[in-house]
Chains A and B, each alone.
Chain A
Amino acid sequence: MVDGATAILPDFEREKAESYVIFRLGGEGYALEVMRVQEVMDVESMTEVPGGSKSLLGVINLRGHVVPVYDLRIPFGLASNPNPPKMPSVLIVEIEAGNDARVTGLVVDRVSDVLEFSPDQMQPAPQLGLGKATPFVRGLIRHQDAFLLVLDVDRVFSALAKLNGEGV
């Protein structure tokens, strides 16, 4: 699949191409620049934070650092997973916060791939029609007869921060 996406690109295009982590969430396929993803991990244990916002699933120990983990379903307006996986896949994502980058975990349904796309393969996202996820989508990429929604992860974080600020 990876080859299928990249082989057709001419060389100069490939240089500009960017890698995306492809994941699924609530039946949709999403893409997120690989540069923003530090790693993908299966989380065995998470510490709940009583009193935290609903989207805050808990905190985990990422090699000695305490990292919060959020459920993307809440800001995306999706119903919470009826049978949550025992070991959810967590995208460890870097947030640019002033001078120091912080990391945060985002729970997704399944991480499937890493693919390369050139910039001209991305189409602008429609202003309507993507439901609550609209503000978080930067564009669409056509892939295998379906569209991948390219995530604007900074907007996701500002939405999460807002949810946190409002408390529970």
Chain B
Amino acid sequence: MAEDQFREMFYEEARELLIGLEEGLMDLERRREDRAHLDRTFRAAHSLKGAAAMVGLENIARFTHGIEAVLDRIRSGELAVDSDMITTLLEARDHLAAMVEGESMGSPVPASGDLSDRLASLLRGSAAHTAPVAAKPTPPPAPAAVAKAPMATPAPPPALEAEPEAAASPANPAAPPASPAPARKPRTPRPRKAAAEKKPRAKGAKARAMDAAGDKAVGYRILLSPGPDTLRRGVNPLGVLDELRDLGRTTISTDPELVPFLDEIDPERCHLTWTIDLDTDAPPERLEDVFLFVKEDCAVAISERLADGRLRALASAEGLPDPGALAESPPAPPRADAAPPAPPPAAAKAGSGNGAVPRVMPVPMPETPPVRPASPAASAAAAPGARPHARIRVDAIQLDDLVGLAGELVVLSDNLQAMREDPHAAGWLHALEALDRVSREIRDTTLELRMVPVDELFSRFHRVVRDLADRSGKEIDLKIVGQETRLDRTIVERLGDPMVHLIRNAVDHALEPPEERLEKGKSRVGKITLTAGHEGDRVAIRVEDDGRGLDRERIVRKGIARGLVAPGTPADDPRVINLIFEPGFSTRDDVSELSGRGVGLDVVNDSIRALRGSLTVESTPGKGTAFVFRLPLTLALIDGLLIEAAGGKFVVPLTQVEECVSLSGMGPALAKERPCVSVRGELVPMVSLRNLFRTNGQLPRRQELLLTRHAGQRVGVAVDRLVGRVQAVIQSLGEGMQVLNRYSGATILGDGSVSLILDLSAVVSESLVADQGAYSTPSIGVRAEVFR
């Protein structure tokens, strides 16, 4: 059970890390020089590996190691980023995602041998073109370049050869954010298989720079410096010491000087820093496991004690500046929270003077060479950065319940408000108003919980566009505007597929190949812009390209051929463009690799409609096309109009109603073979709910007409009576009733009765289809309204 929970947490964490990894890889390509970015990306892979190993998913950890290793080489400057490499890494990430999902579904996906090989060959490749880099001053005599050659002489460990195997070794949960400088435990040369199997931590890349003498580690020296809040967080550092004792023989010492005077002492704070000498056979991974739970706010520095008494830095936990990073930039100013690097013996005392608890005790390797001048800014940015904003995880079901409750409260409040009419009610007016205010606040707050920035969705498309550009041979620049706009989580989740579809369309149909663009006087690189923003109480999302624009001539020809529009319809008819939303309508005659897989814009349109949104298109020939989604902010609650029709009460979403007019005195007139009414001089087709619901009985003297917009055209829906405005908490109808398109759900009214929510645009479509049976020859007037 507990294990299951850990697994669940891992899956969630892994998904986030995978997103981070993907974004990082995408950015890596664009901002190759940005070191901070690279570090973050590396850290995502690294954390994922650690997390996987922690929950026992060794194969995932192993596979991740391959990715991590490549990123590590990029960090150390041994590999130059190129597009193919990013492609490989992205594919590996995708496979990793599949592995994670496979595990979570209980059907594990094996690691891809092909991808592992490709990652490995990237690593091998690093030897070839980094020789000059490797030639930088590495004091130990072993020439690194030679060591790196895959066919190296036996003297230096065959580090590179071992690397691919390393990917197949149990991962090392808290391996250092590997830096080029501190060398790792060296190994004596041995056959690669054996090396991989017996020495799992074949992070040999670092080992190659070691000198041969005195490099035998006899134990570890660990500096453990708990952060000021360690005790307050309920972490007991003594437990860590006990765990270390279990690993082998320990000598633990601390510096009493660090303890302040009694009147200054803060009993809730840990003032001590321990120096632990540990003699053990345990591999460093085991050591790092010990610190797994304290590394968040404790500074831990592990170094190996070599036979000749020297210390070699081994690992730094999160919260420590990367010793390598420090080493890389010798003049780097200490970070605000970091004590200046001090040689180990002095380290314990560092900071005691000024009373500050030394948080960080890196143990730099004395002979660490300055490898690459990194700007102070870069190393500061490279500091283990937290994600910019914390996110909370909320159980979706609980959250929905909360939203439902809040909605009910509002309904109750509405109900009470109705009692105002009673003249004796004056006494509770105050309470009533307070209830009203509170209930609305609760609603707003809970709804807020469901809102997420569209960035979660948009940022995915960098990858999509990149892949599409790769495959289509077009050059595309993706621009994103307004990614902070918030939308209901459910909407954001369901927008993904429609948007991918549109983007795919844009790449495949709309954007011209570079040469063609140049000929037309456009820039070589095509542009796709995703924009999100508020439009009244809705959110509008535009997917815009600067490609060819829709070919109206061709659309109208197809429309005529398929009998969707009357022959002779001019191409500039405003409704022509809506033809592309007709089922099965494609202006593309050939099915390309990218799109045209039988899914048309009608599907996109339907899925947007299911979210109570609308989809429109704007297009200028030669300039480009924009698809605009208009979506409600949330799905959970709507402002509705309660109406009566056919003896029942129904709720109509207010956003679908433009206007209500009384029908008395303007009797329906048959125009163009269907009932129409004239509203302020405009002839509006009319749909009667009574007809649709097949109710007979007395027609009320006065009917009400709800004017709605359907496919860019005004349509009136006649109902018997308007009852009033309601706030409706939408509940889905059972599965069996989803075939009834005309209802988008149901809601419970203040009096406890259930009312169905009408989707006016579905009602209009349905009624038009029904009418078509009635009129033998549909004229253009009727057909035109079928446009969606």
Contact = CB atoms under 8 A, between A and B. Distances in A.
A61 B754 contact: yes
Interface string B734-754: 111101101101111000111
Contacts of A56: 736-737
Given A61-B752, A66-B746, A50 B693 contact: yes
B753 A47 contact: yes
A49 B748 CA distance: 14
Contacts of A45: 753
Main secondary structure, interface of B, reads: mixed
A129 interface: no
Contacts of A67: 734
A51 B740 contact: yes
B477 to A, nearest CB: 42
Nearest to A102: B734
Nearest to A104: B734
B362 to A, nearest CB: 49
A64 B646 contact: no
Interface stretch (A115-123, A139-147, A158-166): A158-166
B616 interface: no
A155 B286 CA distance: 56
B384 to A, nearest CB: 38
A68 B693 contact: no
Nearest to B740: A51
- Which of B646, B743, B754 gathers the greatest number of chain A CB atoms within 10 Å? B754
Contact of A51 (B404, B408, B742): B742
Given A61-B748, A64-B408, A49 B737 contact: yes
Contacts of A65: 731
A154 interface: no
B733 A59 contact: yes
A49 B740 contact: yes
Interface in B693-738: 693-695, 731, 733-737
A106 interface: no
Nearest to B747: A66
A61 B408 CA distance: 13
B648 interface: yes
Contact of B648 (A50, A97, A160, A164): A50
A88 interface: no
Interface in B668-697: 692-695
Nearest to B746: A66
B748 A164 contact: no
B25 interface: no
Contact of A66 (B647, B742, B754): B754
B746 A59 contact: yes
A60 interface: yes
B756 interface: yes
Contacts of A104: 734
B648 A48 contact: yes
- Which of A59, A65, A68 gathers the greatest number of chain B CB atoms within 10 Å? A59
A59 B749 CA distance: 13
A68 B737 contact: yes
Interface string A10-27: 000000000000000000
A52 B742 CA distance: 10
Interface in B590-632: none
A164 B737 CA distance: 7
Interface in A89-104: 97, 102, 104
Given A50-B693, A59-B746, A66-B747, 14 more contacts: A47-B648, A47-B649, A47-B756, A50-B692, A50-B694, A52-B737, A53-B736, A56-B737, A61-B748, A65-B731, A102-B735, A164-B737, A164-B739, A167-B739
17 contacts: A47-B648, A47-B746, A47-B756, A48-B647, A49-B743, A51-B740, A56-B737, A59-B733, A59-B756, A61-B752, A61-B753, A61-B754, A64-B748, A67-B734, A68-B733, A161-B736, A164-B736
CB-CB nearest 10 A-B residue pairs: A50-B693, A164-B736, A47-B754, A66-B746, A66-B731, A68-B734, A59-B754, A61-B754, A161-B736, A61-B748
